[in-house]
Amino acid sequence: MQTLTNRAKPVDRRPMTFMEKMYIPAIAKGMGITLKHLFQRKATVSFPEKKRQFSPVFRGLHVLNRDEEGRERCTACGLCAVACPAEAITMEAAERKPGEEHLYREEKYAARYEINMLRCIFCGFCEEACPKDAVYMSETFAPAMYERKGFIYGKQDLLIPNPKTSSGK
């Protein structure tokens, strides 16, 4: 049967020779690889002075997006919470009251939206599941903290600043 990847290697079933039983060629080959890596350039980055370049597909901290008018995009549909394999997202929906049209796009909004970063596996499924493009993963990584409660990000921690109120200051 033909394999899909063509990475399969045939297994050599013949008996080992005396030198192969001594493992000397294998040890010499391993020492050669070790010596080769000993003289190569190190991959260490001096962190505070130099910033490491991340991959273009790097998935960092979550962000709740706003639209052009500064209203929250999230409609509390719950698709991001359902798509999360680690069950790190919790939310509660609420109805928009009269006079709050400038705050929320739809009649329903997320009154409470929390992400537990200790459970999050940064898979990006929440970003893909969101039909309103409200959730996206930024290029920043989670900072180090001393307490567990600091890793539970609420709605105010995740929302980007309002472009209408914060741009003029």
First to last CA, the chain: 67
Domain containing 88: what range?
62-163
Whether 56 maps to a domain, the answer reads: no
Q: Which residues are annotated as a binding site?
A: 74, 77, 80, 84, 120, 123, 126, 130
| Whether residue 165 has pLDDT greater than 80 | no
- In this prediction, residue 168 has a pLDDT band, given cuts at 50, 70 and 90, of very low
Whether 26 maps to a domain, the answer reads: no
Q: Which residues are annotated as a binding site for [4Fe-4S] cluster?
A: 74, 77, 80, 84, 120, 123, 126, 130
Whether 23 maps to a domain, the answer reads: no
| Whether residue 1 has pLDDT greater than 60 | no
- In this prediction, residue 166 has a pLDDT band, given cuts at 50, 70 and 90, of low
In the predicted model, what is the mean pLDDT of residues 69-97? 91
Whether 154 maps to a domain, the answer reads: yes
Per-residue model confidence (pLDDT) at position 63: 93
User: Average model confidence (pLDDT) for the chain?
Assistant: 87
In the predicted model, what is the mean pLDDT of residues 44-57? 83
- In this prediction, residue 2 has a pLDDT band, given cuts at 50, 70 and 90, of low
| Whether residue 60 has pLDDT greater than 70 | yes
Whether 54 maps to a domain, the answer reads: no
**Residue 109 maps to which CATH number?**
3.30.70.3270
What percentage of residues in the chain have a pLDDT greater than 90? 42
Whether 132 maps to a domain, the answer reads: yes
| Whether residue 4 has pLDDT greater than 70 | no
In the predicted model, what is the mean pLDDT of residues 13-21? 87
CB 124 within 8 A of CB 59: yes
Burial (CB < 10 A; 0-12, 13-18, 19+), residue 52, is: exposed
Per-residue model confidence (pLDDT) at position 47: 79
Whether 46 maps to a domain, the answer reads: no
Q: Are strands 108-116 and 89-95 parallel, antiparallel or unpaired?
A: antiparallel
Q: In this structure, how many other beta carbons lie within 10 angstroms of the beta carbon of residue 43?
A: 6
Per-residue model confidence (pLDDT) at position 34: 95
Residue 2 φ/ψ, nearest 5 degrees: -80, 135
| Per-residue pLDDT reduced to its tens digit, 94-114 | 998 888 888 888 889 999 999
Q: Are strands 152-153 and 89-95 parallel, antiparallel or unpaired?
A: unpaired
Whether 25 maps to a domain, the answer reads: no
CA 62 from centre of chain: 8
The total number of structural domains in the chain stands at: 1
